[in-house]
A and B are shown apart, each in its own frame.
Chain A
Amino acid sequence: MTPILLRIMLVVGLALVVSVIVLTRRAWLPGIGHGLPSIWRIAKITVAEARRRRVLQAVIALVILILLSMTAFSYLSPQEQAKMVIDGGLAAITVFGILLAIFVAAFLIPNEVENRTVYAILAKPVRRSEFVLGKYLGALIVLAAMVAVMTVVLVGVLVTLDHLIKDQAGSSFNPNLAAVVLAAVMSYCSLAVLTALIVLISTVSSTTMTVIAALIIWAVGSLQSQIYVLAESNGGAAKLFLLVLYYLVPHLENFDYRFQAANFVAISVPSAIGAVIVGIGYTLVVLVVASIFFSDRQV
């Protein structure tokens, strides 16, 4: 795309967003004072509910075991060991993060509707959009805690190995901890985007379909650059289909900094900020659509 076209899109897009916000201010502005506490309360109860679910605790314990087992690569050179531990650790955080996101988010709203616990909440002065946002925020908090635990364990393993290897003469491990933590944080951001999508899908379909769709979206989202390249070399209906896929599915690759962390390559901060902006924008769109769908859903 030409720079001028991109600028036009940016201006038009921002103009649309601002005008919609201004036009609808009478609808949403008065409700903020009551809405935000309701969202927070629903988030808190979601977190409290998740804390009592044994399956999440079991998954976290399993991940910790896997991270601790990364110390088994001691027969490799320090550089190889560093790469293996960082690669494996970040991959474990990503894989299990996705599983946790699915466990937490796919059952959020469908469970409430199936168990009919949503009746007592919606009978209170709580908007459906506040309910969706509260549930999403709760899921985010749960995921943040879990990713934080896994990251702390990974950093602990790296620091411990660093100390052990430094004790051996002439060796160096030197894990790039800042890059590892940043890669984990970006991984969490991708989970946040994925969770929003899972919540959206769960408002209109069953739990099984939600889980399947989440896995497909994650796979497609991780291969967006491939889709872009394929779209470049195709034409007609195939190109259109690929472009639609490219623009609708989130760009989860933007948040993938595992290569940089494992190979000690410098991370571009502007690209990380750009990725977060794209993530926030996309999540906003998804949550607006989820709120609209849920508002029209008959429970």
Chain B
Amino acid sequence: MATAETVLHIEGLTKIYRSLFTPAGVKAVDDLNLTLRKGETYSVVGPNGSGKTTTLKILLGLIFPTAGSATIFGKAIADLSVRERIGFLPEDAYLYDCFNGEELLDFYAGLFGYSKRKRAALVEELLTLVGMQANRKVAFRECSKGMRQRIALAQALVNDPELLILDEPTSGLDPAGRHQMTLLIQELKRRGKTILLCSHFLAEVEEVCDRVGIMYRGKLVAEGSLPELAGEPEEVVVTFRGLERVAGAAATRLRERLHTAGVAVAPEAAEPDETPASSAPAGAFATLRGATGEVHLPAAHESKLWVILQAVNEAGGQIVEVSRPRPSLQAIFVRAIREVPE
């Protein structure tokens, strides 16, 4: 429900692409409901073809919905006055490539009816903000990907918008570029902008976003803040080391103690960061990787914690950590997609 603090409100938004060859249509967005409050940074994540860009294009009036509605600042999206208060960073920085950054920003500022003096001041300010003062005269086609994204972000900020819509802002950037872009977004967040962000880079999303929405096949399958999405920690993890000293009878005893306690020893993981949940058996299990090991105790098996600690200690291992980890956004993402019925 929309309130005075609501910046964006989407209700029942549906977009079906119909063509001669697909008369039934392809549902790009399916009954989407979403609300964005003032000052919030909301990220929409999803695999390719999940409807993220389609949703953004509907909000900007580039395409038209089949059903449902959306309001920005309480006004219909077709209202032109709404665009005075929003800024849009398109994916892949689609700008005129025969002009330089200064000319582009001057042009886009001119579309808001600013005077020449104001435009000049704005251009200066924005080039400084995105760090492009030295390259202001470089033609857009000659700019690197990072430079282009920065100019594109600058044109999105030309009217000091209240709502920023960023489509894949870090797409195609090297790690340094992604870091710089993330810092910029954090700066904008600090200045009180409401940001709607679409991204594939979950690490950056985790860094900047207050709330995340996961889209899959046009539907919003999960939504909430990261702690909400992660939920209660599902297991206790005991991490230990020093197994190089555990050999022979001691190693056998450790395995027997674990087995007696009902903890299965999973096959050794091929990759260090392979998610145990994806390859390990259900229930309590242990993984041994070289000199270190982990024991995962789901909630139902938490009572075995003391037994496990004793077994490791008696075997000569050293307990490094006992923790209750929350799942990463990537894990949440994969889980959410898996739960969607085919």
Contact = CB atoms under 8 A, between A and B. Distances in A.
Interface in B112-163: 112-113, 152, 155, 159
A122 B56 CA distance: 13
Nearest to A37: B113
Given A48-B99, A119-B90, A125 B112 contact: yes
A122 B62 contact: yes
Interface in A17-40: 31, 34, 37-38
A298 B111 CA distance: 22
Nearest to B59: A123
Given A49-B96, A119-B94, A299 B110 contact: no
What is the interface of chain A mostly: helix, strand, loop, or mixed?
helix
Interface string B43-74: 00000000000000100111110000000000
Interface string B180-204: 0000000000000000000000000
Contact of A34 (B61, B62, B113): B113
Nearest to B103: A48
Contacts of A52: 98
Contacts of A34: 113
Given A37-B113, A45-B107, A119-B90, A124 B99 contact: no
Interface string B277-288: 000000000000
Interface residues of B, number: 31
B328 interface: no
B107 A41 contact: yes
B112 A124 contact: yes
A120 interface: yes
* Residue of B64, B87, B96 ringed by the most chain A CB atoms within 10 A: B96
A126 B83 CA distance: 8
Contact of A117 (B84, B94, B165): B94
Nearest to A123: B88
A45 B104 CA distance: 9
A84 B333 CA distance: 76
A116 interface: yes
B94 A124 contact: no
A121 B96 CA distance: 11
Category for how many chain A residues contact B: 20 to 34
B270 interface: no
B110 to A, nearest CB: 4
A34 B114 CA distance: 11
Given A52-B98, A116-B94, A298-B62, A123 B83 contact: yes
A115 interface: yes
B60 A123 contact: yes
A239 interface: no
Nearest to B86: A123
Interface string A115-159: 111011111111100000000000000000000000000000000
A141 to B, nearest CB: 16
B95 interface: yes
Contact of B96 (A117, A123, A124): A117
A103 to B, nearest CB: 16
A256 to B, nearest CB: 36
Given A45-B96, A52-B98, A119-B90, A124 B62 contact: no
B155 A120 contact: yes
B67 to A, nearest CB: 15
B231 to A, nearest CB: 37
B96 A298 contact: no
A119 B62 contact: yes
Interface of A: 31, 34, 37-38, 41-42, 45, 48-49, 52, 115-117, 119-127, 298-299
22 contacts: A37-B110, A41-B111, A45-B96, A52-B98, A117-B95, A119-B60, A119-B62, A119-B88, A119-B90, A119-B94, A120-B155, A122-B60, A122-B61, A124-B108, A124-B112, A125-B81, A125-B83, A125-B112, A126-B83, A127-B80, A298-B64, A299-B57
Q: What 5 A-B pairs come out closest when comparing CB atoms?
A: A116-B94, A123-B88, A298-B63, A125-B83, A124-B111
